[in-house]
Amino acid sequence: MYLFSYFSTSLRPFRRVVAALLLTFSLLLPLCACSGESRPENADQTISFHLQQDPVSLDPQIADSYGARIAVEALFEGLVRLDEDGKPYPGAAESWEVSSDGLTYTFHLREDAQWSKSIVTEDGETTVSSDPCPLTAQDFVYAWQRAVDPSTGCPDASGFACIKNAAAILQGSLSPSELGVSAVDDHTLVVQLESANEDFLSLTATTPFMPCQQDFFLWTSGRYGLEAKYICGNGPFAFSNSYAWDHEEKMTLRRSTSYSGENEPLPASLILYTSQEITDISNPLSAVEEEVVDLALLPSSQLEEAQSQEGVQVITQSMDAVWGLCFHTQDELLSHADIRKIFVQTLPRETLLENLPPHASAANDIIPEICLWNGKSYREQAGSNLFLQEDSQAISSLSSILSKLKLEEMPSITVIGPENTKDILNQMLITWNGSMGNYFNLEALSEEELSDRISSGEFQAAICALRTEDATPLGFLNLFASDSTDNPAHLQAENYDRLLEQAATGSLQALVEAETYLNQQAIFYPLYYTDRYYVANATLSGVVIHPAEQGIDFIQAGKLE
């Protein structure tokens, strides 16, 4: 929530006029710069997208929402970028070498890479200048040390655990200065890993691995990433002016004149809307058809309608979420694993899977097939079908378990789930009512209500979604960590947390054991996978939509007028 004084509110109309004039001028600059060059016919357009909500911060080391990651990827650039196939290609680093044992990465930064601003000191006063300053290897060292420092509160800090000493730093037993990353000179960065990890290169494209200019960060005095003027990026886009982030409406980004990368940014500007009230996208299909936005998230309920329209295109991004039956492990009854197992092992799996929501596919594992580990398919290395198997004899142990808990009968529970899972929920209740001699309840909710209930712990059992910002095995498993704010089961298990710590340093066995634990302890029972859909302007091209919650890259986005 943002609080404004009467004075700042009364100035808003004037500020918007000034911002509009500055925007008009700033958008002309990149176009003029390209006037003598041959440009694709779909270049130099304004591309618009709605972030769903206004990001709290655009500090890459603490950005924690889908919208924030989209904006950060436009404003900053990591050592590499990811193409449409998820393969890394040169970003801020123009080249790199990997040692024969896979433990040392040496990155060579572009000598002409720059920040969008610089810090200058005049008459003893430190201020910000629009003149860019060079990007250096030390900017990455500083950023990564910030990310692993427990006091920063980086939500994705576990991604650094493959780097030497990172695990100990995250646990507070070593200083961030001990992280295995060093600047040999201004343009050479060396990274030491704990163990060989073929996925490391791709990790450096994600938001927490983006660089941070130390002088600028310190100049902001705690306001880094909160306003346009407190953001200094090295990416393909930059804020058009100091007022270009209107928290009540949108962000306006222009093609950066200081950017030097593998590809020249194609759009002239990006408009990233942040308000549902100012820009209505409650009907995404209509919003695209009416050119309110060029790209929008599309609910599966509108998929057939969108596919039938000639003036738009539908983009499918594999693997949006893993859906399954999740138990509240802090509930008085469901804290007992034996009780949870009876609920799961009495379920008729084949019948449940016959009642999946539209466009869903059966899920036999918590970690989906798209996930890689050390450059190869995780599922091929870990095995499949780890879910807790149906057992007709499981109900026979009910009376003895209830006796140990000093219960005469199985207490009734309520299962919540999204509205499109009523058929599955009904089948669960029919099974449990018949096998346990009691009456159980269901409650179908909107996805927003469902998410709120699970986050607050106001449920006993739920069909819920697992979504992660990185499509990695550890990303999904970290959701259940004791300190995870997204922990759907509210699980507190030291033995599970230890497995995650081991997995973060490259242990496949620990990954498999952690996933097996969630299955065999009936904490999460996988049911189905869903994809993510977008509806887009029919001529929009070049947009790279990353899997899971990683974000969207607009650097090569183009469209025809």
Strand partners, 128: 119
Share of the chain above pLDDT 70, in %: 93
For the domain covering 6-283+540-553, report its CATH number: 3.90.76.10
Strand partners, 119: 128
Element (H or E) spanning 376, and its range? strand 376-377
281-290 residue pLDDT tens: 999 999 999 9
Backbone angles phi, psi at 76, to 5 degrees: -125, 170
CA atoms of 475 and 378, how far apart (whole Å): 13
| Number of residues assigned to the chain | 561
pLDDT of residue 126: 83
299-312 residue pLDDT tens: 998 999 999 999 99
Q: Give the tokens for residue 509.
A: 């066995």
Domains of the chain: which residue ranges? 6-283+540-553, 319-531
The stretch 495-507 carries a mean pLDDT of 91
Element (H or E) spanning 245, and its range? strand 245-246
Q: How many other C-beta atoms are found inside a 10 Å radius of the C-beta of residue 333? A: 17
Print the SS3 string covering 24-37: HHHHHHHHHHCCCC
- The gap from C-alpha 338 to its chain's centroid, in whole angstroms, comes to 34
Question: If DSSP codes are grouped into helix, strand and coil, which group holds residue 238?
Answer: strand
Q: Between 370 and 183, whose confidence is greater?
A: 183
CA atoms of 39 and 80, how far apart (whole Å): 25
Residue 149 has pLDDT above 90, yes or no: yes
Q: What is the pTM of this model?
A: 0.85
Establish how many alpha carbons lie within 13 A of residue 499's alpha carbon, considering only the half-sphere containing its beta carbon.
22
CA atoms of 70 and 67, how far apart (whole Å): 5
Backbone angles phi, psi at 537, to 5 degrees: -50, 135
Of 118-122, 150-154, 475-479, 486-490, the range with the lowest mean pLDDT is 118-122
CA atoms of 463 and 424, how far apart (whole Å): 9
Question: If DSSP codes are grouped into helix, strand and coil, which group holds residue 76?
Answer: coil
Q: Between 401 and 127, whose confidence is greater?
A: 401
Q: How many other C-beta atoms are found inside a 10 Å radius of the C-beta of residue 372? A: 19
pLDDT of residue 31: 44
pLDDT of residue 278: 85
Q: Look at residues 279, 280, 304, 328 and name the one whose alpha carbon lies nearest to residue 459.
A: 328
Q: Alpha carbon of 57 to those of 52, 144, 249: distances in Å?
A: 15, 18, 15
47, exposed or middle or buried, with CB in 10 Å at 0-12, 13-18, 19+?
buried
Residue 404 contacts by C-beta under 8 Å, 6 or more apart in sequence?
A: none
Task: Give yes or no for a contact between 123 and 209, defined as CB atoms under 8 angstroms apart.
Answer: no
Residue 181 has pLDDT above 50, yes or no: yes
Q: Between 437 and 303, whose confidence is greater?
A: 303
CA atoms of 18 and 217, how far apart (whole Å): 26
Print the SS3 string covering 463-484: EEEECCCCCCHHHHHHHHCCCC
pLDDT of residue 506: 82
Residue 375 has pLDDT above 90, yes or no: no
Question: If DSSP codes are grouped into helix, strand and coil, which group holds residue 13?
Answer: helix
CA atoms of 324 and 347, how far apart (whole Å): 13
Phi-psi group of 290: left, alpha or beta (phi > 0 → left; psi -120 to 50 → alpha; rest → beta): alpha
Q: Which amino acid is at 470?
A: D
CA atoms of 497 and 481, how far apart (whole Å): 6
78-137 residue pLDDT tens: 999 999 998 999 999 999 999 999 999 999 999 999 999 998 887 778 888 888 999 999
Q: How confident is the model at residue 561 (pLDDT cuts 50, 70, 90)?
A: confident
Backbone angles phi, psi at 314, to 5 degrees: -110, 130
Q: What does the mean pLDDT of the chain come to?
A: 91
157, exposed or middle or buried, with CB in 10 Å at 0-12, 13-18, 19+?
buried
The stretch 432-448 carries a mean pLDDT of 91
DSSP 160-172: GTTBTTHHHHHTT
- The gap from C-alpha 150 to its chain's centroid, in whole angstroms, comes to 20
3-53 residue pLDDT tens: 323 233 333 444 444 444 444 444 444 444 444 467 899 999 999 999 989
Element (H or E) spanning 378, and its range? helix 378-382
Q: How confident is the model at residue 463 (pLDDT cuts 50, 70, 90)?
A: very high
The stretch 412-432 carries a mean pLDDT of 95
CATH number belonging to the domain at 319-531, selected among 3.90.245.10, 3.40.630.30, 2.40.30.10, 3.10.105.10? 3.10.105.10
Of 15-19, 122-126, 211-215, 469-473, the range with the lowest mean pLDDT is 15-19
CA atoms of 556 and 240, how far apart (whole Å): 19
Backbone angles phi, psi at 27, to 5 degrees: -75, -20
